[in-house]
Amino acid sequence: MSAKPILSVEGLGKRFEVGGGLLRRPAQVHAVVDASFEVAERACLGLVGESGCGKSTLARCLLRLVEPDEGRIVFEGEDVRSLDGPALRRLRRRMQMVFQDPYASLNPRRTVRQTLAEPLVVHGLATGEAVDARVEAALAEVGLPPDSAPRFPHEFSGGQRQRIGIARALVLEPRFIVADEPVSALDVSVQAQVLKLLEALRERHGLSMLFVSHDLGVVRHVCDRVAVMYLGRVVEEAPVPDIFDRPLHPYTRMLRAASPVPDARARFSLPRVEGEIPSAMDPPGGCAFHPRCPSALARCAKERPALADLRGGHRVACFLHSPEAAP
Amino acid sequence: MSAPAAVLPARGWTRRFRANPTSWLGVALIAAVVLAALLASTIWPLDPLEQNVAERLMAPTAAHPLGTDTFGRDVLARLLHAARISLLIGAFSIALAMTIGSAIGIAAGYLGGWFDAAVTSLLDVLLSFPTLLLGLMVVAMLGPSMGNLVIAIAITELAPFARVARAPTITLKGRDFVEAGRALGFSDLRLVVVHIIPNLLSEVVVVASLWLATAIRTEASLSFIGLGVKPPTATWGGMIREGFENILDAPWLALAPSLAILVTVLGLNLLGDGLRDAIDPRARRD
Amino acid sequence: MTEPLLEVRDLTVEFRSGGAWHPAVRNVDLSIAPRETLAVVGESGSGKSVTALAVMGLVPAPAGRIAAGSSIRLSGRELVGLGERELDRVRGDRVAMIFQEPMTALNPTMTVGEQVAESVRAHRGLGAQAARREALRVLDLVKVPSAARRMDDYPHQFSGGMRQRVMIAMALACHPAVLLADEPTTALDVTIQAQVLSLVEDLKREHGLGVLFITHNLGVVALIADRVAVMYAGEVVETAPAAELFETPRHPYTEALLASMPRVDRDVGALEPIQGNVPSIREIGPGCAFAPRCAHAQARCRESRPRLEPEGAARSVRCWLRTASP
């Protein structure tokens, strides 16, 4: 990686306990296991995978909305996991989040002005008229008219609400945005508006971003690099052209082939996908993907391949591509 | 398309409330009772405490439309002034129960973990006592006085408020806008006060209107047993008890306050049902 | 061309809101031949799901109604105006529907096998033994692995993709001629979506089904559709064979939608978003419903509403720019 990283993550892990009772031990779900990656200054890393792969948990761990169990998160030279109290609040000024559901992510009883002013007041960044000026500036920045300020979220469409959510993340002038499926709840014709807005804001403010999505098309468009997760682990990570045009991991290939393309030539190429996504509570041994893998070797059921750097920043966890990559 | 969240009242609830004739009946009944209590001396200027031994146990006449009691006091005047006491005790005890009960429920729901488990078990114990028995035990311990009566009734109604506040707190805590608040560096206190409480208040208010009826009944029951407000102050429960002694000779003595309680409780229940249906139209079908 | 299994003519469905009737679906024409998948594609509020409900006779009264003059013919038989009992017989016997969220359509307290068997018995009058055998047969048909064992499991023990297979099995158990699928893969992961789409495709070929497939995803359309109807704000704005639609979209909305989609197969450069928002059914003016957002709109587009005009043998488009004589 050429530019210096703004965020680097090493060996991050998060377990959840589910079920259990008075006499029954709760089951452990390894939501994120040994995740390591970097995000370069002004870059956008995509995090893709199917439901239950741990991508949302990982995103929330970065902001400590979910407390990770192990690993290191270094943001702008600061060890995020060791922060508490005022230091953690200062971190949250520099790292913000955009949520998936534009209906659930805004408090229905607060006006747009209240929603946008609150962070400024809490962090003591503006008082009195300066607050209104900054709220107005934030609205203009995301393309909403100034008369939006006194209105309530339910008066807006999904796309407009997502703009409000983005404005709220931006009022604190963060350096880094974690976007969790920011367009997947929107209509197709509105998605592009929001994607363009995010693009413009990234450019203007020099933002770096972690972009979580299940939609490979959107990720291809928005991101510079992509990490693919399967059952809590990053199985492949590479620059966008490599992931989409030269995927190495059999799971990335399956995901890529199954992603629909608006082109009728795809008509008869429905991929034959094997098997179901296993439960994260009871992941298969060895490489977690081996039961569905069309090219699984005997050793894939027994050993787990480590994430190995091949060339040009293309990392993959698969014995087919790095036979020596035993853990 | 995402369904509106269970804890947030659907929009237009005021319109739905106004469109429901039975909630209007509830409003009318309660308004009548409250007005009567407020304007007691204006409506009927006789002194509720003035005794007149010559006119004991008189049947209703023009001078005493509801008759007189064993001390010759005017029953209508006592009924109107008792409304003040009964409503005040009901309102204060509900306010107390609502504040403390909701605070407990919100704390349990927000903090979760062992605290939540402990609070929930305690509430279950509290709920397993019959309301009247619990009130009786508390008054017996504290001694009968108006303040203690308020406390006793409040304690009997803590659990429902704690329960009704706890469930939506858990839901709201997991909502994205609360998580967004944490990401923005808001304190827990701010998240609870600014972002959680306003979103569950409507549900708590509905419960308050329904339990206010119970509070008034509990007050009447305790006064009936003699553990309520000390005579000669008039309360509905006390009046029923006094009337009960002469139920065969002067049935109006017990009947009038009983009807007053009936009307108030009915009005509050209609009002509460109307509010609940308006705020959560889905509850209606259950 | 074979006679259509399902033919919808001039379908208008209205809903009551604020004391007035507003059309959610306006003058929709559709037809499906045996062994044909017609994809109806549109955004929220396009009327695509309401169209499917109307075909199933499930427009909720009294809030909604099918307007006079609408016609829905299934194998030649008119469905509009049929009584509830006759409709019940048509539903399931001739036309079956699968939904986006199978969990809500399955009874959580009955085993999967019982539910499929129940639907077989209700529509085909088989005995308990025969119904169970038939249930097993259709569960095998939709490739539920080790169906003989799993049919005694409850719905919550199935994954989302497997539940959708069960729903399809229940639909097939009654040998319908037409399958209505309303966003059946939207809640599924892409790899599981691919499996369910393959299954629908196989069933269509092997059993000669006509499939009405409702989706918002143009990528999914490309995978399974033979013909496509694009809906916007309650109207069909364009119909075309799938291959032609993606090659040469004719309606400005279709064109704009394709230009606004990021694609997984190639770098598209700058996206061209469609300005504005999808209109609600209450705010549609006298002109073309898309005119307020259309980059090519002219005065005439705002004043009067274009008709769906045929273009060649297999296509049609609702746009003044395409149909007006120069």
Asked whether residue A225 is domain-assigned, the answer is: yes
Q: What is the pLDDT along chain A (327 residues), one digit of tens a residue?
A: 456 799 999 999 999 887 766 667 778 888 999 999 999 999 999 999 988 889 999 999 999 999 999 999 999 999 999 998 889 988 888 999 999 988 889 998 899 999 999 999 999 998 889 999 999 999 999 999 999 999 999 889 889 999 999 999 999 999 999 999 999 888 888 899 999 999 999 999 999 999 999 999 999 999 999 999 999 999 999 999 999 999 999 999 999 988 888 887 766 566 666 677 787 778 888 999 999 898 889 999 999 999 998 887 899 999 998 766 555
> Do C31 and C136 have their domain in common?
no
Tell me the average pLDDT across B163-183. Answer: 92
Asked whether residue C303 is domain-assigned, the answer is: no
B11, B183, B190 ranked by CB distance to A122: nearest: B190
What does the pLDDT read at residue B9?
43
Interface membership of B179 toward A (CB under 8 Å): yes
Number of domains in chain A: 1
Interface membership of B183 toward A (CB under 8 Å): yes
> Do C159 and C182 have their domain in common?
no
**Residues B257 and B239 sit within 8 Å (Cβ to Cβ):** yes
B53-90 pLDDT, tens digit each: 777 777 777 777 777 777 778 878 888 888 888 888 88
A50 CB neighbours in chain C (<8 A) are 189-192
What does the pLDDT read at residue C324?
60
Tokens of B211: 């339990």
Strands C6-17, A314-316: pairing is unpaired
- Degrees to nearest 5, angle at CA B131 with B127 and B136: 125
**Residues B89 and B151 sit within 8 Å (Cβ to Cβ):** no
Report the CATH number at residue A186: 3.40.50.300
CA distance A204 to chain C (A): 17
Interface membership of C161 toward A (CB under 8 Å): yes
What does the pLDDT read at residue B128?
86
Residue B213 and residue B215: Cα distance in Å, rounded?
Answer: 5
Amino acid (one-letter) located at A31: A
Residue C100 and residue C187: Cα distance in Å, rounded?
Answer: 6
Question: What is the band of C2 on the pLDDT scale with cuts at 50, 70, 90?
Answer: low
Residue A32: domain span: 5-109+152-316
A220, A260, A272 ranked by CB distance to C262: nearest: A220
Q: Do C159 and A276 touch (CB under 8 A)?
A: yes
Asked whether residue A219 is domain-assigned, the answer is: yes
Which runs of consecutive H residues, i.e. helices, occur in chain A? 55-62, 86-94, 112-122, 129-141, 158-170, 188-205, 216-222, 240-245, 250-258
C224 CB neighbours in chain A (<8 A) are 267, 270
Amino acid (one-letter) located at B151: I
Interface membership of B11 toward A (CB under 8 Å): yes
Residue C143 and residue B109: Cα distance in Å, rounded?
Answer: 44
Asked whether residue A291 is domain-assigned, the answer is: yes
Chain A residues at the C interface, defined by Cβ less than 8 Å, are 50-51, 157, 159-160, 187-193, 195-196, 214-218, 220-222, 244, 254-267, 270-273, 276-277
Report the CATH number at residue C20: 3.40.50.300
Percent of chain B topping pLDDT 90: 20
Tell me the average pLDDT across B172-191. Answer: 92
C6-35 pLDDT, tens digit each: 999 999 999 988 788 999 999 999 999 999
> Do C281 and C206 have their domain in common?
yes
Strands C36-41, C227-232: pairing is parallel
**Residues A48 and A226 sit within 8 Å (Cβ to Cβ):** yes
**Residues A185 and A157 sit within 8 Å (Cβ to Cβ):** no
What does the pLDDT read at residue B55?
73
Domain boundary among C156, C175, C194: C175
Residue A309 and residue C279: Cα distance in Å, rounded?
Answer: 50
Average pLDDT of every residue of chain B: 82
Question: What is the band of C120 on the pLDDT scale with cuts at 50, 70, 90?
Answer: confident
**Residues C177 and C75 sit within 8 Å (Cβ to Cβ):** yes
B250-285 pLDDT, tens digit each: 788 888 888 888 888 888 888 888 887 777 654 443
**A127: how many CB neighbours lie within 10 A of its CB?**
9
Residue A237, φ and ψ in degrees, nearest 5: -145, 130
> Do C28 and C141 have their domain in common?
no
Interface membership of B182 toward A (CB under 8 Å): yes
| Cα radius of gyration rounded to whole Å, chain B | 22
> Do C83 and C204 have their domain in common?
yes
Residue A154 and residue B273: Cα distance in Å, rounded?
Answer: 26
Which one-letter DSSP state was computed for residue C160? H
Asked whether residue A138 is domain-assigned, the answer is: no
Number of domains in chain C: 2
- pLDDT of B8 strictly over 60: no
**Residues C178 and C151 sit within 8 Å (Cβ to Cβ):** no
Give C241-294 as a DSSP string.
EHHHHHHS--SHHHHHHHHT---SSS---S--PPPS-PPPTTS--SS-TTGGG-
Report the complex ipTM.
0.84
Residue C14 and residue B73: Cα distance in Å, rounded?
Answer: 67
The string over C234-270, giving b where at least 16 C-beta atoms fall within 10 Å of a residue's C-beta and e elsewhere, is: bbbbbbbbbbbbbeebbbbbbbbbbbbbbbbbeebee
C248-298 pLDDT, tens digit each: 999 999 999 999 889 888 888 888 888 888 888 788 888 999 999 999 999
Residues paired with residue A225 on neighbouring β-strands, in sequence order? A45, A239
CA distance C117 to chain A (A): 25
Percent of chain C topping pLDDT 70: 98
What does the pLDDT read at residue A21?
61
Contacts of B33 (CB under 8 A, 6+ apart): B83, B87, B260, B263, B264, B267
**C289: how many CB neighbours lie within 10 A of its CB?**
25
The string over C182-207, giving b where at least 16 C-beta atoms fall within 10 Å of a residue's C-beta and e elsewhere, is: bbbbebbbbbbbbbbbbbbbebbeee
Residue B184 and residue C80: Cα distance in Å, rounded?
Answer: 55
C289-315 pLDDT, tens digit each: 999 999 999 999 999 999 999 998 889
Interface membership of A63 toward B (CB under 8 Å): yes
More confident residue, A87 or C102: A87
Residue C87 and residue C83: Cα distance in Å, rounded?
Answer: 6
Tell me the average pLDDT across B154-179. Answer: 91
Strands C178-182, C210-215: pairing is parallel
Residue A230 and residue A280: Cα distance in Å, rounded?
Answer: 10
Interface membership of A185 toward B (CB under 8 Å): yes
- Our measurement of the distance from residue C114's CA atom to the centroid of its chain's CA atoms, rounded to an integer in Å, reads 28
Asked whether residue C118 is domain-assigned, the answer is: yes
What does the pLDDT read at residue A327?
52
**Residues A1 and A40 sit within 8 Å (Cβ to Cβ):** yes
What does the pLDDT read at residue B280?
62
C271 CB neighbours in chain A (<8 A) are 192, 195-196, 221
Amino acid (one-letter) located at A47: L
Asked whether residue C146 is domain-assigned, the answer is: yes
> Do C86 and C120 have their domain in common?
no
A51, A190, A217 ranked by CB distance to C263: nearest: A217
Closest C-alpha to B202, from B105, B127, B272, B267:
B272
Residue A184, φ and ψ in degrees, nearest 5: -75, -15
> Do C82 and C155 have their domain in common?
no
- pLDDT of C168 strictly over 50: yes
Asked whether residue A273 is domain-assigned, the answer is: yes
CA dihedral for C240, C243, C246, C247, sign (positive or negative): negative
Contacts of range B68-71, beta carbons closer than 8 Å, 24 or more positions apart? B69/B239, B69/B242, B69/B243, B69/B250, B69/B253, B70/B242, B70/B245, B70/B246, B71/B232
Structural domains in chain B, CATH included, are: 13-40+71-285 (1.10.3720.10)
CA distance B176 to chain A (A): 4
What does the pLDDT read at residue A325?
55
Q: Do C190 and A276 touch (CB under 8 A)?
A: no
**Residues C60 and C28 sit within 8 Å (Cβ to Cβ):** no
Residue C174 and residue A307: Cα distance in Å, rounded?
Answer: 50
Which one-letter DSSP state was computed for residue A264? G
> Do C56 and C81 have their domain in common?
yes
Picking from A44, A273, A279 by the largest number of C CB atoms within 10 A of its own CB, the best residue to mutate is A273
- The kind and range of the H/E element at C84 are helix C84-93
Residue A228, φ and ψ in degrees, nearest 5: -105, 125
Which one-letter DSSP state was computed for residue A80? G
> Do C60 and C195 have their domain in common?
yes
Residue A35 and residue A61: Cα distance in Å, rounded?
Answer: 11
Residues paired with residue A40 on neighbouring β-strands, in sequence order? A5
What distance, in Å, lies between the first and last C-alpha atoms of chain C?
A: 33
Question: What is the band of B228 on the pLDDT scale with cuts at 50, 70, 90?
Answer: confident
Residue B271 and residue B97: Cα distance in Å, rounded?
Answer: 19
Find the range with the poorest average confidence among A21-30, A65-74, C56-65, C187-196: A21-30
> Do C197 and C222 have their domain in common?
yes
- Our measurement of the distance from residue A267's CA atom to the centroid of its chain's CA atoms, rounded to an integer in Å, reads 31
Residue A290, φ and ψ in degrees, nearest 5: -55, -35
Asked whether residue C100 is domain-assigned, the answer is: no
Residue A282 and residue A289: Cα distance in Å, rounded?
Answer: 13
Question: What is the band of B3 on the pLDDT scale with cuts at 50, 70, 90?
Answer: very low
Amino acid (one-letter) located at B94: I
Q: Which of B57-66, B213-222, C47-56, C187-196 has the highest mean pLDDT?
A: C47-56
Asked whether residue A179 is domain-assigned, the answer is: yes
- Closest residue in C to A256 (Cα–Cα): C264
Residue C130: domain span: 107-175
Amino acid (one-letter) located at A24: R
Give chain B as a DSSP string.
-PPPPTTSPPTTHHHHHHT-HHHHHHHHHHHHHHHHHHTHHHH--S-TT---GGGTTPPP-SSSTT-B-TT--BHHHHHHHHHHHHHHHHHHHHHHHHHHHHHHHHHHHHH-HHHHHHHHHHHHHHHHS-HHHHHHHHHHHH-S-HHHHHHHHHHHTHHHHHHHHHHHHHHHHTSHHHHHHHHTT--HHHIIIIIIHHHHHHHHHHHHHHHHHHHHHHHHHHHHHT-SSPTTS--HHHHHHHHHTTTTT-THHHHHHHHHHHHHHHHHHHHHHHHHHHH-GGGGG-
Amino acid (one-letter) located at B153: I
User: Between A and B, how many CB-CB pairs are < 8 A?
Assistant: 61
The string over A69-108, giving b where at least 16 C-beta atoms fall within 10 Å of a residue's C-beta and e elsewhere, is: eebebbbeeeebeebeeeeebebbbebbbbbbbbbbbbbb
**Residues A221 and A202 sit within 8 Å (Cβ to Cβ):** no
Domain boundary among C142, C175, C208: C175
Q: Do A262 and C262 touch (CB under 8 A)?
A: no
Asked whether residue A36 is domain-assigned, the answer is: yes
A255 CB neighbours in chain C (<8 A) are 190-191
- The kind and range of the H/E element at A214 are none
Average pLDDT of every residue of chain C: 88
